[in-house]
Structure formats: C-alpha cells, structure tokens
Amino acid sequence: MYHSDLILKGIKADELMASQLEKALIGVKDQALQQASKIGDGATRLVYYTSCFTDNYQDVCAKLKEEDLRFLDGIAEVVKRRDIIYRLVHIYFEEIFRFKTREQL
C-alpha cells in the first residue's frame, strides 16, 4: 500500500507541475504575441515618420508630431498629478449620482 500511495502522489505532483508549466507557457506565448504586436505598431509608426522626408506628405508628418506632443502632455499630467485615478473615479461617480434622488440612491 505504501508504494502505491507514493506512486499516486508522485503522479499527482507531476500532473500539477505539468499543468503549471502549461499555464506558464501559455502566458509566455500571450506576452510574446502582445510584444510582437507592439513592435509591429512601432514599425508602422516609424514608416509613417518617413513621410517627413517627402514634400507631398508634410500634413501626415504634422499630424504625427501633434499626436506625439499630445501624448507627451498626457504623460506629463499623469506624472504631475499623481492622484489622477482618484480624480477620474470621483468625477465618474459625481456624474452618475448628479441627478439621482435619495430614493433612487
């Protein structure tokens, strides 16, 4: 009996380790696909930036620069105002509860 219990526990441990390894590999695959997508997006943006070297597509170049400046302004605001999540949630709930009566609440 002792040996069969030991074998069963070993098999269960192996199954558990195999399932954990499978989950880990699935997570790695998902992250690799996300990273590849991000790299593709970056490459696409880089190709769009080549329009800055041509005369016919200066409007595209200007829009890209405008988007980048707006993005950098957003990052600066997040860094400057560390309570931004709290403020967003606060504004959200203010809007939800604005026209509610006491009975509706």
How confident is the model over 12-33, as pLDDT tens digits?
988 989 899 899 989 899 999 9
Residue-by-residue DSSP string for 2-54: HHHHHHHHHHHHHHHHHHHHHHHHHHHHHHHHHHHHHHHHHHHHHHHHGGGGS
pLDDT band at 1 (very low <50, low <70, confident <90, very high): low
**Cα(52)–Cα(10) distance, rounded to whole angstroms?**
63
Tell me the average pLDDT across 31-57.
88
Residues sharing a CB contact under 8 Å with residue 78, sequence separation 6 or more, in sequence order? 84
- State the pLDDT at residue 36: 92
Tell me the average pLDDT across 39-68.
87
Tell me the average pLDDT across 47-65.
86
